[in-house]
Amino acid sequence: MHPEVQRRRSQEVSAARARGDKVIVCVIPLLFERHLADDFDTIVLVDAPRSIRLDRIVRDRGIDEAEAMKMIASQMPADLKRARADYVIENAGTREDLEIEVDRVWQEIAGDSVSSLDTANAG
């Protein structure tokens, strides 16, 4: 990971902890490839079939298909990422479908976080 990105993430996480934030979200596209998974309590993977990811990279980033295929090939296979994730959000449908899935997972994570904090404070 680029040292400045790492420094900034550490700074932001420290600030969130100091505020008492119950949940801290870090978006790290190459989390597994950079061997950072052990740094986090919960991992949420947003995934789509390879063909959809390829189409989106070409369309949204203006990258030619061959380069996009190389990018995908350099990543850990999706089935391995799925096996390591605590939650998988399917991103093969509409933006509305994605928002519904994100809300569902957020409720589970935020609920678990609040419950575990309440339990810790009760003891």
Mean pLDDT of 27-36: 92
Q: Is 107 inside any structural domain?
A: no
Q: pLDDT-based confidence at 1, cuts 50/70/90?
A: low
Here the CATH number for the domain that contains residue 35 is 3.40.50.300
Q: Is 118 inside any structural domain?
A: no
Mean pLDDT of 76-103: 96
Write a three-state SS string for 44-63: EEEECCHHHHHHHHHHHHCC
Q: How many domains does the chain have?
A: 1
Helices (H), ranges, the chain: 3-19, 50-61, 65-73, 78-84, 95-122
Query: What domain range is 27 assigned to?
Result: 3-102
Q: Is 32 inside any structural domain?
A: yes
Determine the pLDDT at residue 111: 82
**Contact predicate 76/32, CB 8 Å:** yes
Q: Is 122 inside any structural domain?
A: no
Question: What is this structure's pTM?
Answer: 0.80
